[in-house]
Amino acid sequence: MTSRSELAKIEKYAECGSLGHAWFDTDSSSWNPQFGNPVTFRCERCGTERREVWNRRGDMSNRHYQHPEDYHWPKGQRPSRADFRAALVRKRRRRNLKAV
């Protein structure tokens, strides 16, 4: 049985968990790799940052993610993509009921 707080957390990240992140290019001044050029993308929905290091030719040598504090689940307990889709359906249904 999934707790109410766990369902709320799944719903909070439903779009990213079911559709993938919505990345946009953002400022990289908050970190500086020893070698290469820092490139940062941020998800407009959940705030996750994808930090990459590129060389002059554009080859990526490293990638790291910075997630919001509550984004992680214990090992083996991350909801499936179907769970995130079901949460997205619930959110959309509630939103549509409010609009009526």
pLDDT of residue 1: 54
pLDDT of residue 2: 72
SS3 track for 30-86 = CCCCCCCEEEEEEECCCCCEEEEEECCCCCEEEEEEECCHHHCCCCCCCCCHHHHHH
The 10s digit of each residue's pLDDT in 67-88 is 999 999 999 999 999 999 999 9
- Regarding pTM above 0.95, the answer is no
> What residues contact residue 49 under an 8 Å CB cut-off, 6+ apart?
26, 40, 41, 42, 43, 65, 66
Integer Cα distance of 81 and 17 in angstroms: 6
Residue-level pLDDT, tens digit, the chain, 100 residues: 578 888 899 999 999 999 999 999 999 999 999 999 999 999 999 999 999 999 999 999 999 999 999 999 999 999 999 999 999 999 999 888 777 6
pLDDT of residue 100: 63
